[in-house]
């Protein structure tokens, strides 16, 4: 089982869109996929038409007697399941802090589904916290969407510095650009500058496109209603290069 986390310190960079579309693409290829929605906003759950509510809330999911198996919900897409968000996730740091080995709790919980799924995708809230430390310890790789702005690039530098200081610099980072508008010269320049400095960059770019915004209206991945579109092809290319990178590190 491979655990991938869509993560960024910054919000509004396309984490959830990436997590949902990549999970859907993997399931369409025949893989058994679990998407875990860790964001109290519950956008990933909403996109996949799953009620953002957990039995017993976050405490039952993360606590000593975790009920993750009881909270796995099938979606309308074959082989794609979800552990929904819950508004109580806003207190997830506090709940984790009360547990033994609090920074390793998520990894231990996911061990219980290792035989049931080929991929687990974590849709993560922004920021660095005890939740994100759990994500770093549980994930085989971080998928880091970056929008072409100076603040977003700065956030990526802050992430790499935090991982270095915490001794987790060996964690596989897979940054990629999201919401790219090639008509804007500043976007093109920032992408070129970042690419020249970061060999780890995935050379697939998710465009700024109305089809991605329509995910909320359709409550579906882009590929399910606009597969032949530019963003549909971009997400498919992104998934292909992620699989290549995973195979190379295996």
Please give the average per-residue pLDDT across 69-86, as a whole number: 92
Please give the average per-residue pLDDT across 221-244, as a whole number: 95
pLDDT of 141-181, one tens digit each? 999 999 999 999 999 999 999 998 888 778 899 999 999 88
What pLDDT shows up at residue 98?
Answer: 65
Q: Are 107 and 137 in contact (CB under 8 A)?
A: yes
Render the burial of 6-21: b for 16+ CB within 10 Å, e for the rest: bbbbbeebbbbbbbbb
Please give the average per-residue pLDDT across 55-68, as a whole number: 71
What pLDDT shows up at residue 85?
Answer: 87
What pLDDT shows up at residue 65?
Answer: 62
Please give the average per-residue pLDDT across 133-140, as a whole number: 91
pLDDT of 10-48, one tens digit each? 899 999 999 999 999 999 999 999 999 999 899 999 999
Q: Are 97 and 134 in contact (CB under 8 A)?
A: no
Count of domains observed in the chain: 1
User: Which residue range is the domain that position 111 belongs to?
Assistant: 2-249
| Cα(57)–Cα(27) distance, integer angstroms | 27
Neighbours of 179 (CB within 10 A): 21
| Cα(25)–Cα(224) distance, integer angstroms | 9
| Cα(71)–Cα(55) distance, integer angstroms | 7
pLDDT band at 101; cut points 50, 70, 90: low
Q: Regarding beta strands 33-37 and 119-123, do their DSSP bridges make them parallel or antiparallel, or are they unpaired? A: parallel
pTM above 0.75, yes or no: yes
Q: Which of 79, 81, 88, 33 minimizes the C-alpha distance to 55?
A: 88
Residue 36 contacts by C-beta under 8 Å, 6 or more apart in sequence? 82, 83, 120, 121, 122, 123
Angle between helices 150-165 and 185-197 (to 10 degrees): 20
Q: Which of 54-68, 104-118, 173-187 has the highest mean pLDDT?
A: 173-187
Please give the average per-residue pLDDT across 223-246, as a whole number: 95
CATH of the domain at 95: 3.40.50.300
């Amino acid at each position: 089982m491979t655990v991938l986390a869509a993560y960024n310190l910054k919000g509004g960079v396309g984490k959830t869109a990436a997590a949902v579309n990549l999970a859907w693409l993997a399931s369409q290829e025949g893989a058994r996929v679990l998407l875990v929605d860790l964001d109290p906003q519950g956008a990933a759950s909403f996109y996949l038409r799953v009620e953002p509510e957990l039995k017993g809330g976050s405490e039952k999911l993360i606590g000593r007697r975790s009920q993750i198996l009881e909270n796995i919900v099938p979606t309308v897409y074959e082989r794609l399941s979800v552990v929904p968000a819950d508004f109580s996730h806003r207190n997830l740091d506090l709940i984790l802090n009360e547990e033994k080995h609090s920074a390793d709790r998520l990894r231990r919980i996911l061990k219980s589904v290792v035989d049931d799924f080929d991929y687990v995708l974590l849709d993560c809230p922004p920021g660095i916290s005890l939740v994100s430390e759990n994500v770093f310890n549980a994930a085989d790789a971080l998928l880091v969407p970056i929008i072409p702005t100076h603040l977003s690039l700065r956030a990526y530098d802050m992430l790499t510095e935090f991982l270095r200081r915490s001794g987790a610099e060996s964690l596989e980072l897979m940054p990629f650009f999201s919401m790219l508008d090639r008509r804007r010269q500043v976007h093109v320049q920032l992408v070129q500058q970042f690419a020249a400095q970061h060999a780890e960059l995935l050379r697939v770019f998710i465009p700024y496109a109305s089809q991605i915004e329509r995910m909320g209206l359709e409550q579906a991945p882009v590929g399910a209603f606009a597969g032949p579109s530019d963003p549909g092809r971009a997400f498919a290319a992104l998934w292909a290069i992620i699989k290549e990178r995973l195979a190379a590190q295996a």
